[in-house]
Amino acid sequence: MADDGGRSARVTVVGGGVVGLTCALQLARAGHTVEVRAADAVADTTSAVAAALWFPYRAFPAESVLRWGARTLTVLTDLADDEATGVRLLPGTVVHRTPEPDLWWGEAVVGHRPATPDELPAGAPAGTRCTLPVVDMRRYLTWLLAACRSAGVEVVTTQVDRLSAVPGDVLVVAAGLRSGPLLDDDTGVPVQGQVVRLADPGLPGWLLDEDNPAGLTYVVPRGDDVVVGGTAVAGATGREPDPEVERAILERACSLVPELRGAPVLSRAVGLRPARPTVRLDRTLVDGRPVIACYGHGGSGVTLSWGCADDVVALV
């Protein structure tokens, strides 16, 4: 492989969630021969549990996150024109409970403005209104996987326990919480998130209330259902929904969005966000072979996916 990018490489991407598949797609589009090695089917990944609203959450550093997020926002906005992607643009409210909220993410969002009193849920002192992509992850991951295969990406379902067993001129490690152990990095921390999916009563927009005194609360309608969350328990590793936690989530959500009361429960899920002090996106050598790390996205895998994939392509 030539370092000047003039020749294609055989690249193996370890990880089949939204970050790994997006990297694989962009690498294939750049002319590389790409294989994905994924421990789970896409429907069983942490990505499949995501709400998923474009919004940076538990990902650092801010400057890089803003750049990656802005790029992803542009791509998702374009994808909203294709119904098959499961992406649509939807207005909503970010609730503020402090006098001077930090709207650092607003640099990437065109047209955000202060919410009017009638746009705020009961008890919320202030908020910001904006229109953002909402991604139905069931449809989006199916579309993304199909796009990868159409671009010539081979997807193999197998668990990778050591990089030396993985073929390729270049490796990309984008396996969420499984990434750190492959690279002798113990800084990753699971952040448990629980959601419940209700029948959508026809909500006109989403709601995000990170600083709710009773706990993180978000309501993200997707047409057929509405994802209601949530929790953010650092270090927890359980994947079974807790009925008591679910009751608390629903009570918080229904107090903010009364239309949800009585909505049938369609499903419930728990995911482990792959958090880290900072997103790791760099190129190193492992046993003489280039390895690009791309993990530690916290609750922002969807939000940062296309921007990070561009950087991965540049590093390859």
For 168-225, write each residue's pLDDT tens digit: 999 999 999 999 999 999 999 999 999 999 999 999 999 999 999 999 999 999 988 9
- When the pLDDT of each residue in the chain is averaged and rounded to a whole number, the result is 96
Confidence band (pLDDT; 50, 70, 90) for 6? low
- Residue 5 pLDDT exceeds 60: no
Cβ proximity of 192 and 230 under 8 Å: no
Residue reference for tokens 């969002």: 109
Q: What share of the chain is helix, strand, coil (3-state, %, to 5)?
A: 35, 30, 35
Give mean pLDDT, residues 95-99: 95
Look up the pTM and report it.
0.95
**Which stretches of the chain are DSSP H helices?**
18-29, 62-79, 137-150, 179-182, 243-256, 301-315
Condensed to tens digits (0 to 9), the pLDDT of residues 265-283 reads 999 999 999 999 999 999 9
Of 126, 95, 131, which is closest to residue 111 (Cα–Cα)? 131
CATH superfamily of 10-315: FAD/NAD(P)-binding domain (3.50.50.60)
- The pLDDT assigned to 43 comes to 86
Preceding peptide of 52 cis, ω within 30°: yes
Instruction: Please report which confidence band the pLDDT of residue 44 belongs to, taking 50, 70 and 90 as the band edges.
Output: confident
Tokens in use for 223?
A: 């047409």
Q: Looking at the predicted structure, is the pLDDT value of residue 253 above 70?
A: yes
CA 109 → CA 88, 124, 207, distances in Å? 15, 22, 16
Least confident residue range of 35-44, 123-132, 147-156, 293-302: 35-44
Q: Rounded to the nearest 10 degrees, how much is the dihedral formed by the CA atoms of 171, 175, 176, 182?
A: -70
So where are the chain's domains?
A: 10-315
Confidence of residue 7 (pLDDT cuts 50, 70, 90): confident
Pairing of strands 87-96, 289-295: unpaired
